[in-house]
Each structure stands twice: as structure tokens, then as C-alpha cells.
């Protein structure tokens, strides 16, 4: 069993006047794929944003490989190896695919050291190579998702945070994305935390799950030791 890559200790966070996360303790071992599940509004996105530093923690600690990230700004966390694919993808619509990927390198400071977008991004997502000169805004939803993942992987993160990667994507493209992520996880020794409502995908892709309710983690386990139907109550209304 590898040591924990990500550790959250008593993590709290929220927005002006409303606390959303309450004393979250979570340990994610190196190369684990952990799915965060839960109904709309329980705080899954807020948890990812707090880990990545887009949202400030109001208490507790975030450790990556034992190093305290809690007080670091998000660009320093990106340099330390945290990659993030936000919900809704947030690609730059007026920039080309190649420029979007370049932005992923800049975000983690590697562009300044003269690196180019690594070839493995195009090996993982051959479609991105085909459309490398096309503006991001002209891509299909599935292509945009591949681009958002490629952009996050361009900086060779250790930890990849994915927010609902299958949302609004047709099943055959979900399969392609799943295969590419699996391949990337293996080749790049990635640890992944994925927010996902689509339990079939979770049970194929993740080896662990953590279910959230009202800003707290209320159930955790291995996907191999439980059934998707056991946790369906945490995602359906
Ligand atoms: N920018 C914001 N300002 C104020 N409140 C917010 C903000 N973003 C989210 N919230 C609130 O925080 C709570 C948790 O939202 P969050 O998006 O983290 O939930 P979620 O589990 O990811 O839901 P979903 O599955 O719908 O994305 C909700 O009550 C939401 O209304």
C-alpha cells in the first residue's frame, strides 16, 4: 500500500456567511482513484476548489505528499503537482487547442523553463492533435472535456482533481475519456479524486469512494467491497 499522497485534516470551508464543509478528514493513497459522490449541493465542488486553492479553507489542513498546502495560493499548489479539471471545463474559447494546452503548462510554471506540451497528451487524446489549430469554442462537449483534461495533464501533476467529467457527454466519448484517464493514471502514476454522479462510471473507474452529505463525509469504502446500489441513496433524491 502506498503512502497517502493527499491528506485532509479537519478541513472546513465555505462562502461569505455560510459554512459548507465541516471538519473533513480524508486520506488518499498514492495512485488511488477516489470518487466523491453525493447529491447536488452537498459540497463536492467546494471540496475540490478548497484543495486546489480557488476557495480558501476556514480551518484544518491540506497536505500533499506531507507538504502543507493550506496557505499556498493556487498557482503554487499547481506547481506542487495539483491538476484541476473544473466542472463545465472552463477552456478558453478564443484560444486554439494548442494554445489552451500551452496555458496548462504556464499555469504550473513549466512554460517559463522552455518546455513544450508533452507528446503524451496527443497520444492520450489523438483527437486533440487533429483539431490542434481549432478554437476551443468550436469543439464539441466531448472534445472540450478531453482538452480540459489534456490541459491539466500538460503540467504532469501528481494529483488530478476532476469535477464531473462525464456530465453532458455521450456514452461513446465517456468510454474514450475513461480509457485515456486510466492510461494516464498508469503511465503518469497519477492519484485521482473525481466528483461523479454517474455510479456505473465510478464503479468501473475508481477503487475507492467517499460519500458526502451536508458538507461531511458520511461513508467511505472500496468499490470492490460494495455495490453501487449500496450508495445510490447518497446520490439520488
Ligand atoms: N460561489 C458561491 N457562493 C456562495 N455559495 C455557494 C457558492 N458556490 C456554491 N455555493 C453553495 O455551497 C453549497 C455547496 O455547493 P457545491 O457546488 O460545493 O455542491 P456540489 O455537491 O458540488 O453540488 P453539484 O453536484 O450541484 O455541483 C451549496 O449550498 C451552494 O449553493
CATH number at residue 195: 3.40.50.300
Atom number, ligand 1, closest to the C-alpha of residue 215? 14
Neighbours of 92 (CB within 10 A): 15
The string of pLDDT tens digits covering residues 104-163 is: 877 666 544 556 777 889 999 999 999 999 999 999 988 999 999 999 998 889 999 999
- Does residue 130 lie within any of the structural domains? yes
Q: What is the predicted ipTM?
A: 0.95
Nearest CA to ligand 1 atom 13: 41
Nearest CA to ligand 1 atom 11: 41
Q: What DSSP string describes 50-115? A: HHHTSS-EEEEEEEETTEE-TTS-HHHHHHHTEEEE-TT----TTSBHHHHHHHHHHHTT-GGGT-
The pTM of the whole model exceeds 0.90: yes
- Does residue 235 lie within any of the structural domains? no
Non-local (6+) Cβ contacts of 95 within 8 A are 103, 135, 136
CA of 48 to the centre of ligand 1 (A): 11
Residue 183 near residue 121 (C-beta atoms within 8 A)? no
Atom number, ligand 1, closest to the C-alpha of residue 212? 21
| The total number of structural domains that make up the chain | 1
More confident residue, 60 or 234: 60
- Does residue 90 lie within any of the structural domains? yes
- Does residue 237 lie within any of the structural domains? no
Radius of gyration, alpha carbons of the chain: 17
Residue 82 near residue 69 (C-beta atoms within 8 A)? yes
Of 225, 226, 228, 157, give the one whose Cα is nearest residue 193: 157
- Give 231's pLDDT tier (boundaries 50, 70, 90): confident
Longest alpha-carbon distance in the chain: 50
Chain CA centroid to CA 97, Å: 20
Three-class SS state of 165: coil
The string of pLDDT tens digits covering residues 80-121 is: 999 999 988 788 999 999 999 988 877 666 544 556 777 889
Strands across the sheet containing 216-222: 82-85, 159-163, 191-195, 33-37, 208-213, 216-222
Cα–Cα distance, 213 to 235 (Å, whole number): 9
Nearest CA to ligand 1 atom 29: 41
At 184, give phi and psi (nearest 5°).
-60, -40
- Does residue 236 lie within any of the structural domains? no
pLDDT at 196 > cutoff 70: yes
| Domain enclosing residue 151, as ranges | 4-229
- Does residue 156 lie within any of the structural domains? yes
Residue spans of alpha helices (H) in the chain: 44-52, 74-80, 97-107, 119-124, 126-130, 141-154, 171-187, 199-205, 228-235
CA of 69 to the centre of ligand 1 (A): 22
Task: Enumerate residues lining ligand 1, CB below 6 A.
Answer: 15, 20, 38, 40-46
Strands across the sheet containing 57-64: 18-29, 4-15, 57-64, 67-68
- Does residue 18 lie within any of the structural domains? yes
Atom number, ligand 1, closest to the C-alpha of residue 45? 22
CA of 20 to the centre of ligand 1 (A): 8
- Does residue 173 lie within any of the structural domains? yes
Amino acid at each position: 500500500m502506498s503512502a497517502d499522497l493527499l491528506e485532509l485534516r479537519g478541513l472546513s470551508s465555505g462562502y461569505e456567511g455560510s459554512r459548507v464543509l465541516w471538519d473533513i478528514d480524508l486520506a488518499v493513497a498514492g495512485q488511488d482513484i477516489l470518487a466523491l459522490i453525493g447529491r447536488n449541493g452537498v459540497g463536492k465542488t467546494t471540496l475540490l476548489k478548497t484543495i486546489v486553492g480557488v476557495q480558501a479553507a476556514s480551518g484544518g489542513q491540506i497536505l500533499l505528499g506531507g507538504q502543507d498546502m493550506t496557505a499556498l495560493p493556487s498557482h503554487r499548489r499547481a506547481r506542487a503537482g495539483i491538476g484541476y479539471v473544473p466542472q463545465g471545463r472552463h477552456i478558453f474559447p478564443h484560444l486554439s487547442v494548442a494554445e489552451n494546452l500551452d496555458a496548462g503548462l504556464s499555469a504550473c510554471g513549466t512554460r517559463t523553463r522552455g518546455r513544450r506540451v508533452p507528446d503524451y497528451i496527443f497520444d492520450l487524446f489523438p483527437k486533440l492533435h487533429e483539431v490542434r489549430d481549432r478554437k476551443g469554442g468550436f469543439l464539441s462537449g466531448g472534445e472540450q472535456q478531453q482538452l480540459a483534461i489534456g490541459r491539466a495533464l500538460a503540467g504532469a501533476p501528481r494529483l488530478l482533481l476532476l469535477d464531473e467529467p462525464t456530465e453532458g457527454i455521450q456514452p461513446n466519448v465517456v468510454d474514450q475519456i475513461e480509457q485515456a484517464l486510466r492510461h494516464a493514471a498508469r503511465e503518469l502514476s497519477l492519484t485521482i479524486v473525481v466528483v461523479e454522479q454517474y455510479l456505473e462510471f465510478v464503479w468501473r473507474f475508481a477503487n475507492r469512494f467517499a460519500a458526502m452529505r451536508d458538507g461531511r463525509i458520511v461513508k467511505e469504502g472500496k468499490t470492490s467491497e460494495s455495490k453501487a446500489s449500496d450508495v445510490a441513496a447518497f446520490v439520488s433524491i
